[in-house]
Amino acid sequence: MDLLEAEGFVGLGEFAEAAVVGGDGVPTSWGRLRAILAHVEKHRAAAACAGRGCRVLHAARHDALIARKEGSRRDPRGERQMRIGFVGLGNMGGPMCRNMMKGVNHEVVVHDLNPEAVRACTEAGATAAESLAALAASCDLIFTSLPTPKAVEAVVDGIAPNIRPGTAMFDLSTNAPAVVKRLHAILAEKGVALLDAPVTGGVVRATDGTLVVMVGGEEAVFEQHRSILAAFSGQLVHVGPVGSASVAKLINNMLLLCNSAAAAEGLMIGAKAGIDMGKLTAIIQNGSGDSAGMRGLAARALKGEFKASFALDLAYKDLGLAVDLEAEYGVPGLLAPQALALLRMARGMGFGQLDTTAMLKVYESILGCEARL
């Protein structure tokens, strides 16, 4: 008789489901698990995957292939753990996911189109889901961190058929409030709570785990998962109903980008006037004209460093959404559309994949001079 069957498991799928806690609620002994795994490796040749100690198991309950690392987090008391899904492991999502894994004792399942981004998280202890459907079918809580509203919609389309009632989903993306509300309604019909939870603070604070996370949606769901959100944030704010956090985030980014545009314009006046950039930035950064936009220009653009921290293409998307909100609420757009025009010019000049501070290069190209420290 197969050792799995002798131990009461019907195939690898059932073993995977029961690996942490036995059917009687008692933790399965590690010696017993090791014996079963050794037998399976020897006689069934479990498929190997990239990464030390990593193998592929077929979880029968949701018919999905999941690559699991040995030594993944187990609750020492043998209690059933929550399984958390994280979709989107880019400049912001990757650090948030890894900080979450450090701060919680739950299994984390990840998905991204970039295999290198996935590997960075699996090496930190996450599990790689083969597909969105697999992730949705197995997770109790899902986070998304994606570049555009269309990307969020595509992910929801991918997970909606398999997502389980009672699942909570937090969209960490900078999204359009109207899109968030529409997706919230779609998922609510499936018994799923979607909350918008955009973040601010940039890549540095994402890495440090000190982001500001603003949340819109059911407050009870927010409170239920507060400790998990706190694992990658320095400040949590429940803004109001679903969509309200996305409005707050777009206002924040509108101010950043308008301030950046004004700072770039001012610095170019100084450059044309022959003022030393080091002295000028010292005056501004210690005076009333300072801003996050000004500090970003001084830290990157004035040094000729334009590797994207906040890509200009994404800034253009965010500011465009903010200008749309101005029109929706009847707010006269006197400043934001001008900053948006500057970003549009920068994209037309081929600077879209550079850092947002590359807006300075528009002025430099027009004026034929550089502003550098």
Q: 64, 110, 118: which is closest to 84 by C-alpha?
A: 110
Six token digits for residue 50: 């990239």
Go through 251-265 and write b for each residue having 16 or more CB atoms within 10 A of its CB, e for each that does not: ebbbbbbbbbbbbbb
Q: How far apart are CA 309 and CA 84, in angstroms?
A: 27
CA-to-CA dists, residue 321 to 72, 104, 134, 327, angstroms: 40, 34, 32, 10
Beta carbons of 233 and 213 less than 8 angstroms apart: yes
Per-state percent for the chain, helix, strand, coil, to nearest 5: 50, 15, 35
Candidates 42, 69, 102, 249; catalytic one = 249
Residue 372 phi/psi, 5° resolution?
Answer: -140, 150
Known catalytic membership, residue 102: no
Task: Give kind and range of the element (H or E) at residue 54.
Answer: strand 54-59
Q: Minimal CA–CA distance to 289: which of 266, 321, 314, 256?
A: 266
Active site residues: 249
